[in-house]
Amino acid sequence: MKKRLVSGIQPSGVMHIGNYFGAIKQFVDLQNEHDASIFIADLHALTTVHDKDILSKNILNIAMDYLACGLDPEKVTLFKQSDIPEVTELTWYFNCLTPMPFLERATSYKDAHMKAKDVTVGLFDYPILMASDILIQDAEIVPVGQDQKQHIEYARDTAQKFNNTFGEIFKLPEPMLLGGVAIVPGTDGRKMPKSYGNTIPLFGTDAEIKKAVMSIVTDSKTPEESKNPDECNIFALHKLFLNTDELTALRARYTEGGLGYKESKDMLYAEIIAFFGPLREKRTTYENDPELVKDILRKGAEKARAVVEVKMKTVRAKVGVTL
Ligand code: TYM
């Protein structure tokens, strides 16, 4: 029996290389050996995106990104979250078991609260919606980047709480983090979420990628000076593209001196273009046929819904709304 794998990405902006190395690459690598269900978390994106044209464009873009990166709809159930209304229904059942202080401890909430942003009920409830995505599908493993690990713990706790209250029905999911690149740094060395403006876009134009690479923040050492690769934001990104031997050689050039940051950035730019070039080419076939992409999402949703309907019958009976 293949293990059930579930994960998703929010269409809250443009897909960046952090999403690729932290998440999509794993989805593609794992799709053969798992019963995989990958979705576009558009309801989660509504916590930040309040423009219908932008949201629908982002949804379609993420679907194209998934396909261009190699997710195969014959192997993976690919859908958008809002096509599965049972997810929000389950969120409500979970909400009614979730103490407010439990959610007040969530990093996503604390971050927003600290920045004195107006926190909506939706943002506050974000981890529970995510728990529903995961638990409704009986996920066993959830491949994510480091920043989502706490959310998987919320899903586990929520499953336990439900099971203790109404009887064993939810499996406890495990996070799966890709060693070494669980956090891909942004151009300023902080992590790379879609909203910090420090991202390197996965499918940007050459000019956009170049601009992002050239904006990587460094110290002001001259080319001649010896540099510490472990303190360099450019080097951190080279690690995603170079093999061990190449990295050892580059490391030596950093410490010996004589390698300027500009040269290192030019090398990184070339690595990115070479790595993503074939994927960018593949993406144009989907860009030219958006109806095909929508059809893939529709079929995926039908398949996913058939599975979650069975689960929800049991859930409804357990909580007592079935007569
Ligand atoms: P999102 O859209 O912020 O990110 C999607 C995935 O990309 C990973 N990621 C990164 N990994 C490494 N380095 C980075 N700089 C980086 N930035 C992003 C994230 O860890 C994530 O795996 N809440 C989720 C979406 C979601 C979900 C789910 C995921 C909704 N429901 C159920 C799994 C299961 C999110 O906002 O991801």
Q: Report, in angstroms and rounded to the nearest whole number, the Rg of the chain calculated over CA atoms.
A: 21
Alpha carbons within 13 angstroms on the beta-carbon side of residue 94 total 29
The crossing angle, in degrees rounded to 10, of helices 107-114 and 126-135 is 160
Q: For residue 102, is pLDDT > 90?
A: yes
Q: What percent of the chain has pLDDT over 90?
A: 83
Q: Given a cut of 80, is residue 190 above it in pLDDT?
A: no
pLDDT exceeds 90 at position 189: no
pLDDT over 70 (residue 276): yes
* Mean pLDDT within 92-99: 98
Residue to substitute in 7, 9, 24 for testing ligand 1 pocket (most ligand atoms within 8 angstroms of CB): 9
pTM of the model: 0.92
Distance in angstroms (rounded) separating the CA atoms of residues 282 and 268: 22
Q: Which two tokens stand for residue 184?
A: 């891909």
pLDDT of amino acid 179: 59
DSSP characters for 163-216?
Answer: HHHH-S-----EEE--TT-SS-B-TTSSB--TTSS---BSS--HHHHHHHHHT-
- Can you give 245-310 as a three-state secondary structure string? HHHHHHHHHHHHCCCCHHHHHHHHHHHHHHHHHHHHHHHHHHHCCHHHHHHHHHHHHHHHHHHHHH
Q: CB of 193 within 8 A of CB of 148?
A: no
Q: Report the pLDDT averaged over residues 252-258.
A: 96
**Residue 274's pLDDT is what?**
95
Ligand 1 contacts (CB < 6 A) are 6-10, 18-19, 22-23, 41, 44, 130, 133-134, 142, 144-145, 147-148, 151, 182-184, 191-193
Q: How would residue 320 be classed by pLDDT, with cut points 50, 70 and 90? A: very high
Q: Among 9-18, 88-97, 243-252, where is mean pLDDT lowest?
A: 9-18
State residue 213's pLDDT score.
Answer: 95
Q: In what order do the strands lie in the sheet with 34-40?
A: 76-80, 34-40, 3-9, 141-143, 174-176
Distance CA 208, CA 193 (A): 17
Contact 218, 254 (CB under 8 A): no
Which uninterrupted H or E stretch holds 91?
helix 86-95
How confident is the model over 50-54, as a mean pLDDT?
97
Give the dihedral sign, CA 110/115/116/122.
negative
Q: 19 CA distance to ligand 1 centroid (A)?
A: 7
Q: Please give the distance of CA 26 from its chain centroid, rounded to a whole number.
A: 10
> What per-residue confidence (pLDDT) applies to 196?
59
Span from the CA of 79 to the centroid of ligand 1 (angstroms): 16
SS3 40: strand
Q: How far apart are CA 261 and CA 236, in angstroms?
A: 13
For residues 128 and 79, what is the distance between their CA atoms, to the nearest angstrom?
A: 20
- Report residue 17's pLDDT band, with 50, 70 and 90 as the boundaries: very high
Pocket probe mutation, ligand 1, options 61, 147, 156, 200, max atoms within 8 Å of Cβ: 147
Query: With bands split at pLDDT 50, 70 and 90, how would you rate the model's confidence at 77?
Result: very high
Q: Ligand 1, atom 34: nearest CA belongs to which residue?
A: 7
**How far is it, in rounded angstroms, from Cα 168 to Cα 34?**
24
Q: Which pLDDT belongs to residue 195?
A: 59
Averaged pLDDT for residues 283-305: 98
Which residue lies with its CA nearest to atom 24 of ligand 1? 9
pLDDT band at 198; cut points 50, 70, 90: confident
Question: How many CB atoms are located within 10 Å of the residue 243 CB?
Answer: 7
| pLDDT confidence of residue 120 | 93
Q: How close is the Cα of 145 to the center of ligand 1, in Å?
A: 6
Distance, CA of 45 to CA of 59 (rounded, Å): 9
Q: What DSSP state is assigned to residue 81?
A: G
Instruction: Report the C-alpha gap between 214 and 193 in whole angstroms.
Output: 19
Return the SS3 of 21: helix
- Distance from the alpha carbon of residue 205 to the mean position of ligand 1, in angstroms: 23
Mean pLDDT score, 16-40: 93
Which atom of ligand 1 is nearest to 143's Cα? 22
